[in-house]
Amino acid sequence: MKDVSNNFGEEVMISSEEKDKIKKDIVEKINSVLEKNGESFRLDQVNVLNKKETVKFMGNYRVYDRKNYGPVSKEINSFLKQYGDVDIKSKKIRDSGMKFTTVSFNFEL
């Protein structure tokens, strides 16, 4: 288990099991939203960075159909915000004739 502090300076324990559950929940939710909207991309994993006082969760996904971007990102962002202050960045990509929007996210607990 890792000792971390929350925003109030209190000691918080985030166990490996809790980290694994958060990662699993995020992957399942994002993939569910992508599938529901007919997107072919699937998120394989969420990365975790153990910092001195926090644990950072990071991931990214793609939306290929531009008209799906609004509903997909709205639902996923709403879900991610349950974990607190989430940094979300998106970028439109055109690569070898393919067009998609890549979205990266991260938050610390």
Domain chopping of the chain, boundaries: 2-108
Local mean pLDDT, 10-residue blocks, the chain (109 residues): 45 82 97 97 95 92 95 96 94 89 95
The pair of three-digit structure tokens given for residue 85, joined into one six-digit string: 């202050």
Cβ-based neighbour number of residue 66 at 10 Å? 11
Domain made up of 2-108: CATH architecture = 2-Layer Sandwich (3.30)
Structure-block tokens of residue 74: 């709205």
pLDDT of residue 53: 87
Nearest to 57 by CA among 32, 90, 29, 80: 80
pLDDT of amino acid 42: 96
